[in-house]
Structure 1
Amino acid sequence: MTFPRASAALARFTVLDLTRVRSGPTAVRQLADWGANVIKIDALTDDSGGEQPGGPRQGSDFQNLHRNKRAMTLNLKDPRGLAVFKRLAAKADVVIENFRPDVKARLGIDYESLRAINPGIVYGSISGFGQDGPYHKRPGFDQIAQGMGGLMSITGAPGEGPMRVGIPVADLTAGLFCAMGVLTALLERDVSGQGQWVQTSLLQAQIFMLDFQAARWLMEGDVPQQAGNNHPTSIPTGVFKTSDGYINIATTGGKIWERCAQAIGAPELLTNPDYATGPARSKNRNTLNAAINVCTQKRSTDEWVNELNAAGVPCGPIYSVDQMFADEQVKHLGIAQNVPNDEGRNIRLVGQPFTLSRTPSKMAVRPPEFGEQTAELLAEFGFSSGEITALSRDKVV
């Protein structure tokens, strides 16, 4: 296969991508960005119109999710299309889907059906609530999972009602966990020779991401509440006004609090019994935050960032997205990357957030057009030119 790979790290694996919208494509993106041979299966139906759920194909969202892969069309509702898919699956390493749990069985592309023809297949599934159980047939969306997973109850200012976070965190983390599960199963396959079914859901992912907030309830019976910009346990940590905007300041433990009080020119706060200990600062957080705000409003955000960092106090500006990408450290990290394309389009996307020293990831190819490489991919899987012509003529591909 001569198409450009994003990395050599996963180049030996072939992935069939049946995913849609966000959580599934997020999982597949992790594999594509590290060089897997990803084949996006575009649904060929009468109402497809060349578009997939998740926004316009040329839009930033779709482009960010589907780079570094190729695409083919296939009508899985046609028995001949199912036969084509099974020929692909017989040679593939991974299948990833995020249909409702009953859809794949109805189509005949569920794990048990594919395992029968390829015992080594690793099959990744993402659903809203799980593959079984009382809610398994419900449609799942990120905001529903944020609410049912507890996140909205602890996000936002106290007394202002539940608040969703600004990114689809349940979708994104479910995708990442699915990719992690697939990679774990591939590693295990090296020992057993057998594939397995990897399952996760938006609800599971969101609950896992509660982390210490969930543990507070499970271990201590403490129901976390909304705290706005205040950290629930490390105090003072939050957003403070400056002369020209705002700044984040984070203190953990007495030593950093001492450095913070000295740096903002308020050593008297250290001798005030209301702020002498962690529990005292927690109890009196509102008056402490007000006292800190009096100090921080005397200087600009940039001045405080320099001053507090020099004193060893964790802090940082609060950027808009354009300001974030203009930051010198963000530029140094190179996470905003151009995608090569013959059309001369401006495609600049977010790269991978970790690096490998020998087999780095890169933006190798732009996202494919609808079914762009159908004939090429079928030929690679052993379909003859006559078969490809007939399948295309009969609207199977």
Structure 2
Amino acid sequence: METALKGRRILDLTRVLAGPYCSMILGDLGAEVIKIEAPGGSDETRCWGPPFKNGVSSYFLCTNRNKKSLTVNLKKPEGIQIIEKLVQTCDVVIHNFKTGTMEKLGIGYDRLKEIHPGIVFCSITGFGETGPYRDRPGYDFIIQAMSGLMSITGDETSGPQKLGVAITDILTGLYACIGIQSALLEREVSGTGQKIDLSLFDSAVSALVNIGSNYLMTGHLPERLGSRHANIVPYQSFYTKDGEIVIAVGNDRQFMQLAEMLGKPELGSDKKFNSNTGRVENRKELSAILQKLFLKENTSFWEQACLARNIPFGPIQTLEDVRNDPQLKDREMFIRMHHPQAGATSIIGSPLKLSKTPVTYRTAPPEPGADSAVLLSELGYAPNEIQRLKKGEII
């Protein structure tokens, strides 16, 4: 089967989440990804748990499919020689070491572009390779706090809250994919690669979008609104008789439909509520009225009522609900893969649906060094040399 990135080779020197998430997406799209770890395995997520399945971390499984594993000791000159040989066969190098580490190892961008002028070199760090914070370690939680994301998450009573997943890692991984593929396209014209300097901090701030724009335009610090929207009302969650739902009314016509559905058509003509500007200004009063009305029926009733009137609606689902959701089943968002140690395992699939070159799920997340012998033999290492490297703890 043809894949979008067939023939591209990625040298993946990343661990934890942002980098591995990026390289997994590239792997899903058909690139050959070679994951580099220290002998025995050095990606911290291999031991992050529970949960584990037969000793395999679910965290590691979530971002490492479609990769080959080569273990290399980067503190040894022979280990660096292996990396340099590999770089000559690759299109992309991705790393998420602290700023300056790759240079100290002797495999920074300036060195690698001498070896391979066409290499695309993607650096993922907490704060970027320039600026006063460049030497600080960066973790998602820290970045959520410093970027302003936590200051706008939660409500007036909860205090600042972080998102339930490491969203800044995910955003940075996505930006890395965009940057890498853009650089590969540019290389088709220029014939040379380039360096991508990407930081979690920058990526998180970019995600402030309209909230950031609101502040920059007015100078007013945003309040924490919980599930409510800063610029649209009603765009929030409500309790029903048996659960919680989300209503996302995006225009005045939809609000009139909502008012009629709730048996209160007068709300749609009330001067306080008949425009979005008025609804934002009178948010608390309107939200209280709507909440009383939604408590009269259960979630399934409101779902059918909203669907009948084309009012944007969604129940707040648990992960059990999500796993059993018929839409996600139809879209094949949960897949089964066989891991050599964990056995048959369910993981989240790719959202990318390409008609001509669909994503593929070729191999389960690898055990440390599972492909070392094959990859080294492709580089010209004889079997006795590979054994010597193993004994010397080079691989």
Q: Which TM class, normalised by the smaller chain length?
A: over 0.9
Aligned 8 A contact 2:41 2:71 in 1: no
Residue aligning to 1:142: 140
Residue aligning to 1:164: 162
Q: Which moved more, 1:371-380 or 1:214-223?
A: 214-223
Residue aligning to 1:66: 64
d(CA) in 2 for partners of 1:183 and 1:160?
Answer: 40
Aligned 8 A contact 1:351 1:362 in 2: no
Residue aligning to 2:50: none
Aligned 8 A contact 2:109 2:121 in 1: yes
d(CA) in 2 for partners of 1:167 and 1:52?
Answer: 19
Distance change in 2, residues 1:344/1:283 (3 Å): closer
Per-residue deviation, residues 4-46 of structure 1 (Å, max 9, x unmatched):
x9x62212111111101111111111111111111111113xx
Per-residue deviation, residues 60-95 of structure 1 (Å, max 9, x unmatched):
110111111110110111011111110111111111
* 1:54 partner SS: helix
* Structure 2 unaligned regions, length at least 5: 48-54
The alpha carbon displacement at 1:306 in A equals: 1.2
User: Which of 191, 194, 200 is 1:193 aligned to?
Assistant: 191
The alpha carbon displacement at 1:381 in A equals: 2.2
The alpha carbon displacement at 1:157 in A equals: 0.5
Aligned 8 A contact 2:56 2:341 in 1: no
Distance change in 2, residues 1:223/1:22 (3 Å): same
User: Which of 39, 44, 51 is 1:53 aligned to?
Assistant: 44
d(CA) in 2 for partners of 1:192 and 1:257?
Answer: 53
d(CA) in 1 for partners of 2:337 and 2:361?
Answer: 5
The alpha carbon displacement at 1:159 in A equals: 4.2
* 2:65 partner SS: coil
Residue aligning to 1:27: 22
Residue correspondence of structure 1 range 94-105 to structure 2 within 5 A: 94-105=92-103
The alpha carbon displacement at 1:279 in A equals: 2.1
Residue correspondence of structure 1 range 258-277 to structure 2 within 5 A: 258-277=256-275
Per-residue deviation, residues 144-195 of structure 1 (Å, max 9, x unmatched):
1111111011100124321111111111111110111011100111111100
CA RMSD of aligned residues (A): 1.6
Aligned 8 A contact 1:158 1:227 in 2: yes
Residue aligning to 1:155: 153
The alpha carbon displacement at 1:251 in A equals: 0.7
The alpha carbon displacement at 1:328 in A equals: 1.1
% identical aligned pairs: 37
User: Which of 204, 225, 229 is 1:227 aligned to?
Assistant: 225
Aligned 8 A contact 1:340 1:364 in 2: no
User: Which of 270, 277, 282 is 1:284 aligned to?
Assistant: 282
User: Which of 32, 40, 60 is 2:35 aligned to?
Assistant: 40
The alpha carbon displacement at 1:223 in A equals: 2.6
Residue correspondence of structure 1 range 308-323 to structure 2 within 5 A: 308-323=306-321
d(CA) in 2 for partners of 1:179 and 1:236?
Answer: 35
* 2:288 partner SS: helix
Residue correspondence of structure 1 range 1-397 to structure 2 within 5 A: 8-44=3-39, 49-56=40-47, 58-341=56-339, 345-397=343-395
* Structure 1 unaligned regions, length at least 5: none
Distance change in 2, residues 1:96/1:50 (3 Å): closer
* 2:344 partner SS: coil
